[in-house]
Chain A
Amino acid sequence: MSLGFLAPLMLVGALALAVPIAIHLIGRQRAKVVRFAALDFLMATKRKTAKRLRLRERVLLLVRALACLAVAVALAKPFTSCERKGPMVTRGPQAAVLVLDDSFASGYLIDGKPWLRHATEEARKILTQLGPEAEVAIVRSSEGADHPTELTRDHLRLRDQLLALEPSSRPADTTRALARAAQLLAASSHARKTVFLISLGAKTGFHGDESPWGKDGPVLVPLELRPPKLPNAAITALRVDADPGAGSRGAAFDAEVGNFSDTPAKLELQLAIGDRVVARGSLDVAAGGHATKRFIAMLPVGVRATDASVSLAPQRDALSTDDRRWVRASLRDDVRVLLVDGDPHTVRRDDELFYTEAALRPGDREDSGTSVRTITAEELAGIDPRHRAAGSGAPTEAPAIDLADFDVVVLANVAALPPERVTVLADWVRAGGGILVSSGDHVDPVAYDHSMLPLLPQSLRDPIDVTWGAAPDERDSRALHLVKWEADHPIFLPFKADAPELASAKYFKISLLGPTTATADRKVLARFTNGAAALVEASIGAGHTLLYTSTLDLDWNDLPVHPGYLPLLQQAVRHLARKHAVGTDADHLVGSSVVLPTVDLKKLEVRGPDGLGAVFEGDRIAGRSSVRFTRTDRPGIYKVIGTDQAGATHERDELAFVVNLDPHGSDLTPAPPSMLPASGAGEGTAPDDHRRRVELWHALAAILLLLLLAEGLLVQR
């Protein structure tokens, strides 16, 4: 630290120091001399006063001398320079953006205080140093954060923003924030443009190789505000599976733990189901590695679905937000499916339902969630009540079938049924059943029109073969593909918007549909590339019907050999049975949207862990099979409260879901300097040294004022 003067010549003014001294001395000489007879009275009177007067005179001399000196020194504009602790900041008109890391990692405790507090303090200092003429914006670098639209000189508001800033629950997306900062600065007319990056600098916050700005971009000033190492441990994944080995209520919780530090760690974990801690365990995790801990636990008796969490406990680390992860654990109800085979075959692979059975009950496992019974179309006669009444005495006849034992009936390539059977089925559907009708060579549109209409969402027309007359090598290119499916529909939830496991399947032949029937809420869930409907849904009474315009085997398409076939069929039967598997395996991250099936509810309310949420009612829910909830801002359990058509309101455990942190944000390994975008020219000059000049004349002016005030008071006395 050294002292210098901008106008050292002004120090000559320090000679003015002589003025008060001279005044003092002259004043002493100018004191009237009175030869006085009664001096003894005077001296006896005020010996103390005289002492005080002498002291006052001396203090007054000192104050006046200091005031003169202060004026001279202030005019010489003294300054001192000290090592920059902060960033290179110059004062004056300019445009600047403070990119502030408010990812959940910014809650990392450093010296007992969240890192974000240190960061906002630093940001406030920068604001002060930039001065009131600077146009500034604050851009938060957490993923999905709202960004400002313009720079402002309202520093007071910016300070309020800084004060109100709290760690979010999202990972850092520094690259996007820098790009936004560059956009804001590009709109400014100032020559000097600077981006101050106040970030934990985690590698995971940067993505892509592209720089957010070009050569003429702003000057980037990254701040080193973090210790070189920020050790952290986090639960990075949590999965729950049924564990039949532990009984019908057994569940296996697999918690993946990440150790983002340089030293191996022995971590204590605990599993809580509901509010109760049910298991504890420890886990050795290598430095920078991951390890999985499995807890086997029984779900409480009496509940079919509950929430569970695994946390690092009892001692959490400096970043506690990511030390816990939630999961929904629910006992799945088996969906009971009656498969009606319209084209049975002695060669299993050629059977109409060969792939369907495999998809609904993979590996024929008990825990597949589906129980399947396959019958032929003739055996379907067993559903007729009269037949059932007389059936016991006719051994050659089909065995009696009680439709109440099933949730879903699949009519796969079944020839048109007699009206009485259709009536029985339609009554059953109206009472809440679900029916899936697929097309095929046995499906005669005329006959279907004649008798099957009560079971269909729409009448059928003749099928078309798009490869008809095509040469074998052209066959594939003329095939149709599935496009435009309802991504928000529960059936398509497992699939992305352009999922190749569905889109790559080739359709060679499909049934066309006739004019729309009177079914009110008919809905096309998916279409082919030629615009023809592929999957149509409609409600019949309390039940649902689903019409698939192609075959469930390989006769008309090759979907059964594509990965999308199994989830599509499973979702379809679960949807028809209204036994959704929501929440059991879906891992929602903070900020993602969650699709909730409406399951005939009139009103649906979602409540997040902080009590906030959303209410869907009226137009937002009427006529929809699902709603989309987007306010997943906090990790934790989101409860769903539903009001059914009868007006009864209660918590819908099966719809509750959990939201977790994005585990990427837990890795705080610093990004190498090469990952930072190159600092642009900024069209301005940034100070190139690491020393900062502090002007002192303000302080001197304040001292001068105080001295003048003191002088005034002393003179008055």
Chain B
Amino acid sequence: MLPKQLDPSQLARLGSLPIKARVIVEGAISGLHRAAMHGSSVEFAEHKEYSPGDELRHVDWKAYAKGDRYYVKQFEQESQLTVYLVLDASASMAFGGGGIAKLEYAGLSLAALAYLVIQQQDKLGLLACGDRKIETIVPPRARTTHLHDVLAVLDGVMKRGAAGDESPAEALGRIAELTRRRRALIILATDLFDTEDNTLRALAALRAQRHDVSVLHIIDPHERTLPYEGLTQFESLETSNKMLVNPAAIRRDYQERMEAFLTKCRSTLAGAGVDYHLAMTDAPLEATLLELLVARSRLAPGRRAS
């Protein structure tokens, strides 16, 4: 029996990534994703036994009359949605103040989304950025087996750990090249710690190409509150910079700057039409995903990828 709310750190201790993804999706958010992700032009594919949460309009009443059992008709999308999951695996994502690392949180989120996407038989592609030396890209496919490939790559990235200082902007540029004129849904999980705001600009550029863009802004609570006490030496995860400081003396100023940064990200991306979600790593994963899915379901039909 799974708990109602999934604690990300407990979830991280579960087995392989496919199991985690299934636990998240089937256990916590079943019934929501279908409505959120259904295609607009479909043709019948097969029957599926009714389960609570399925839409009644898809119940095959004729089949019911024949066999006295409820079946739901399932359709194949006429034109498939291409979903790119982009994982920021730069060194800064390795930070995990008190719970799981940001990279792990982001990975789990994307794995759950991958599960959903494949279940909907949409095309799913994956890009991981951070380490300039390693090219991690999974081209989009819609097959169910493709999920295993995607999750295996995702698992590999997470096991390798966060490294490098490559900005997601470059990966986003790649997607722009790959999709060409075909619109896609791009979901980026990142901390946006990019000194020159390249990522924000790349996201805005994608949106300008009429792609549907969502950002999961992964922030550790410690990064937001700086809760440390006593003399502390902070060492950068991406550079060799160090700083010996009494956190109490600078906490307030730091918090103000961090809030200003979050506000800037939110307002810049909202201004560009990017779907922005702040995800604190101590928040339950399914809540984060629910927020993302609910927000997407509320988007205007024009914005919805088809």
- Which A residues contact B (CB, under 8 angstroms)? 27-28, 30-46, 49-50, 53-54
* CA gap between A98 and B301 in the complex, in Å: 112
B299 close to chain A: CB less than 8 A:
no
Query: Which B residues touch A31, using CB under 8 A?
Result: 230-233, 244
Taking CB as reference atom, which chain B residue is nearest A30?
B231
Chain B nearest CB from A541 CB (Å) reads 110
> Contact between A32 and B245 (Cβ–Cβ < 8 Å)?
no
Q: Which of A28, A40, A43, A54 has the most CB of B within 10 A?
A: A40
* With contact pairs A32-B232, A45-B254, A50-B243 given, residues A37 and B249 touching in the complex (Cβ less than 8 Å): no
Query: Which B residues touch A39, using CB under 8 A?
Result: 234-237, 239, 241, 243
Taking CB as reference atom, which chain A residue is nearest B90?
A37
> Contact between B233 and A33 (Cβ–Cβ < 8 Å)?
yes
Partner of B234, one of A27, A42, A44: A42
Query: Which B residues touch A36, using CB under 8 A?
Result: 95, 223, 234-237
Query: Which A residues touch B228, using CB under 8 A?
Result: 32, 34
* CA gap between A37 and B254 in the complex, in Å: 13
Chain B nearest CB from A269 CB (Å) reads 83
Taking CB as reference atom, which chain A residue is nearest B102?
A37
Besides A37-B220, A46-B253, 13 other CB < 8 A contacts? A28-B231, A31-B230, A37-B94, A37-B223, A37-B238, A42-B226, A42-B234, A44-B257, A45-B254, A50-B243, A53-B244, A53-B249, A54-B244
Chain B nearest CB from A275 CB (Å) reads 81
* CA gap between A30 and B237 in the complex, in Å: 20
Query: Which A residues touch B232, using CB under 8 A?
Result: 31-34
* CA gap between A48 and B232 in the complex, in Å: 16
* CA gap between A557 and B92 in the complex, in Å: 140
* With contact pairs A27-B231, A31-B232, A37-B237 given, residues A46 and B250 touching in the complex (Cβ less than 8 Å): yes
Query: Which A residues touch B193, using CB under 8 A?
Result: 37-38, 40
* With contact pairs A42-B254, A45-B253 given, residues A35 and B243 touching in the complex (Cβ less than 8 Å): no
0/1 string, B19-40, CB within 8 A of A gives 1: 0000000000000000000000
Q: Which of B220, B228, B246, B261 has the most CB of A within 10 A?
A: B246
> Contact between B257 and A53 (Cβ–Cβ < 8 Å)?
no
- Compute the total of residue contacts between A and B using a CB distance below 8 Å: 94
* CA gap between A45 and B257 in the complex, in Å: 8
* CA gap between A43 and B193 in the complex, in Å: 14
Taking CB as reference atom, which chain A residue is nearest B244?
A31
* CA gap between A393 and B261 in the complex, in Å: 152
Partner of A32, one of B226, B231, B239: B231
How many residues on the B side are at the interface (Cβ–Cβ under 8 A)? 35
Q: Which of A30, A41, A50, A53 has the most CB of B within 10 A?
A: A41
Partner of B237, one of A33, A35, A42, A45: A35
B137 close to chain A: CB less than 8 A:
no
Query: Which B residues touch A42, using CB under 8 A?
Result: 226, 234, 243, 245, 250, 254
* With contact pairs A38-B258, A43-B243 given, residues A32 and B233 touching in the complex (Cβ less than 8 Å): yes
Query: Which B residues touch A45, using CB under 8 A?
Result: 250, 253-254, 257
> Contact between B235 and A34 (Cβ–Cβ < 8 Å)?
yes
CB pairs A–B below 8 angstroms (16 shown): A32-B232, A33-B232, A34-B232, A35-B95, A35-B236, A36-B95, A36-B237, A37-B102, A37-B223, A37-B237, A39-B243, A41-B257, A42-B226, A44-B257, A46-B253, A46-B254
0/1 string, B251-290, CB within 8 A of A gives 1: 0011001100100000000000000000000000000000
Query: Which A residues touch B231, using CB under 8 A?
Result: 27-28, 30-32
Partner of A53, one of B195, B226, B239, B245: B245
* CA gap between A165 and B233 in the complex, in Å: 70
Taking CB as reference atom, which chain A residue is nearest B95?
A37
Please list the 6 inter-chain residue pairs (A to B) with the smallest Cβ-Cβ separation, ordered nearest first.
A37-B92, A37-B95, A46-B250, A39-B236, A31-B231, A36-B234
* CA gap between A431 and B195 in the complex, in Å: 131
Chain A nearest CB from B11 CB (Å) reads 22
* CA gap between A53 and B91 in the complex, in Å: 29
> Contact between B191 and A41 (Cβ–Cβ < 8 Å)?
no
Query: Which A residues touch B235, using CB under 8 A?
Result: 33-36, 39
Q: Which of B93, B193, B236 has the most CB of A within 10 A?
A: B236
> Contact between B92 and A46 (Cβ–Cβ < 8 Å)?
no
* CA gap between A37 and B261 in the complex, in Å: 14
* CA gap between A27 and B244 in the complex, in Å: 12
> Contact between A43 and B257 (Cβ–Cβ < 8 Å)?
no
Q: Which of B94, B226, B245, B258 has the most CB of A within 10 A?
A: B245
Chain A nearest CB from B167 CB (Å) reads 14
* CA gap between A39 and B237 in the complex, in Å: 8
Chain A nearest CB from B232 CB (Å) reads 5
* CA gap between A222 and B261 in the complex, in Å: 85
Chain A nearest CB from B215 CB (Å) reads 17
> Contact between A38 and B250 (Cβ–Cβ < 8 Å)?
no
* CA gap between A531 and B250 in the complex, in Å: 113
> Contact between A49 and B250 (Cβ–Cβ < 8 Å)?
yes
* CA gap between A45 and B261 in the complex, in Å: 13
**Residues of B67-114 contacting chain A, CB below 8 A:** 91-95, 102
Query: Which B residues touch A49, using CB under 8 A?
Result: 245, 249-250
Query: Which B residues touch A32, using CB under 8 A?
Result: 228, 230-233
Taking CB as reference atom, which chain B residue is nearest A56?
B246
> Contact between A41 and B254 (Cβ–Cβ < 8 Å)?
yes
* CA gap between A17 and B198 in the complex, in Å: 54
Chain B nearest CB from A157 CB (Å) reads 56
Taking CB as reference atom, which chain B residue is nearest A46?
B250
Query: Which B residues touch A43, using CB under 8 A?
Result: 241, 243
Chain A nearest CB from B123 CB (Å) reads 33
Taking CB as reference atom, which chain B residue is nearest A41?
B257
Chain B nearest CB from A426 CB (Å) reads 117
Taking CB as reference atom, which chain B residue is nearest A31?
B231
0/1 string, B186-198, CB within 8 A of A gives 1: 0000010101000
* CA gap between A701 and B146 in the complex, in Å: 81
* CA gap between A54 and B246 in the complex, in Å: 10
* With contact pairs A33-B235, A38-B258, A45-B254 given, residues A53 and B220 touching in the complex (Cβ less than 8 Å): no
Chain B nearest CB from A580 CB (Å) reads 97
0/1 string, B208-244, CB within 8 A of A gives 1: 0000000000001001001010111111111101011
Chain B nearest CB from A4 CB (Å) reads 42
Query: Which B residues touch A44, using CB under 8 A?
Result: 257
Chain B nearest CB from A329 CB (Å) reads 92
Chain B nearest CB from A178 CB (Å) reads 72
> Contact between B195 and A40 (Cβ–Cβ < 8 Å)?
yes
* CA gap between A660 and B223 in the complex, in Å: 97
Chain B nearest CB from A319 CB (Å) reads 71
* CA gap between A569 and B226 in the complex, in Å: 119
* CA gap between A622 and B102 in the complex, in Å: 120
Chain A nearest CB from B241 CB (Å) reads 6
* CA gap between A41 and B258 in the complex, in Å: 7
Taking CB as reference atom, which chain A residue is nearest B261?
A41
* CA gap between A282 and B223 in the complex, in Å: 101
Query: Which A residues touch B257, using CB under 8 A?
Result: 41, 44-45
